Amino acid sequence: MSNIALEIAGLNFSYAKKKQVLHDLHFEVDAGQCCILLGPNGAGKSTLFSLITRLYAHKQGRIKLAGFDIQKQPLKALGHLGVVFQQTTLDLDLTVQQNLRYHAALQGMSRKKANPAIQEQLECLGMYERRTEVVRQLNGGHRRRVEIARALMHKPSVLLLDEPTVGLDVPSRQAIVEHVHQLSQDGHLAVLWATHLMDEIYASDKIVVMHQGTLKAQGLMADVIRQAQAENINDAFYKLTHS
């Protein structure tokens, strides 16, 4: 059986009547794999996320989640997706638990199903003890953890994270990076993580480098460094995105 959780194949995209912004993208993320999407501003990372979440529809190419084509079987496909957007979308005046219950209700999850799912995810992220606190009282790192727990309540196969550590202090950032890698490994979860921070990458991660809508390199860190004929990943990123 295929282990591919996210498949992007031959993906092209243009915003209405504008020039093409994604050019023939091909890459895959396996179950249990963390894939770091690197690219400077304007590379097309947000556009790619908008297509995977179906905010926009693509006309050429294929996106599959857990084997389901997002155009042919959108409900099944999107049922396998969890997303953490760059801007926080929690209600600051509700408690951690109320935020998650509210989200579960919006997704049509019964209380009976939601309560253990909420407990499990908050425990995984070390936030269960803080479930009755109002989100406004939490620091940025803890709010992020709540958002990740919320994205995982329905047990998706693929988790998209759009620069989730922006604005966090170093210890909070490190904690999120560690948690997500752990979740990916333990939960057999495929993660697609957009960032521009090289220190968030683990040697075991897959890296996809995008520039001007084109995929410039992909593979483990060592492969990408080799492909770019560079000394290290910072140097490789510079070379791949300044041509």
List the one residue from 47, 184, 195, 218 that touches ligand ADP (CB under 6 A): 47
Please give the Cα distance from 141 to 192 (Å, whole number).
Answer: 19
Minimum Å gap between C-beta 11 and ligand ADP is 13
Any contact of residue 39 with ligand ADP (CB under 6 A)?
A: yes
List the one residue from 3, 10, 42, 235 that touches ligand ADP (CB under 6 A): 42
Please give the Cα distance from 77 to 52 (Å, whole number).
Answer: 10
List the one residue from 36, 43, 52, 66 that touches ligand ADP (CB under 6 A): 43
> Which ranges of 58-169 would DSSP assign to H, the alpha helix?
74-78, 96-106, 111-124, 140-152
Hey, is 160 helix, strand or coil?
strand
Cβ burial of 77 (10 Å; 0-12, 13-18, 19+) is buried
Instruction: Kindly state the tokens that stand for 55.
Output: 């905010």
Please give the Cα distance from 219 to 213 (Å, whole number).
Answer: 18
Any contact of residue 41 with ligand ADP (CB under 6 A)?
A: yes
Tell me which residues in 207-226 interact with ligand ADP (CB under 6 A): none
Sign of the Cα pseudo-torsion (113, 31, 178, 43, in order): negative
If the CB atoms of residues 39 and 82 are measured against ligand ADP, the closer one turns out to be: 39
Any contact of residue 18 with ligand ADP (CB under 6 A)?
A: yes
Candidates 35-43, 74-82, 148-156, 234-242: pick the segment binding ligand ADP (CB under 6 A).
35-43
Please give the Cα distance from 37 to 241 (Å, whole number).
Answer: 13
Any contact of residue 45 with ligand ADP (CB under 6 A)?
A: yes
Any contact of residue 17 with ligand ADP (CB under 6 A)?
A: no
List the one residue from 34, 38, 46, 195 that touches ligand ADP (CB under 6 A): 46
Nearest in space to 228 (alpha carbons), one of 220, 240, 241, 219: 240
Any contact of residue 195 with ligand ADP (CB under 6 A)?
A: no
Minimum Å gap between C-beta 115 and ligand ADP is 36
Minimum Å gap between C-beta 148 and ligand ADP is 20
Give the footprint of ligand ADP on this chain (CB under 6 A).
Answer: 15, 18, 21, 39, 41-47
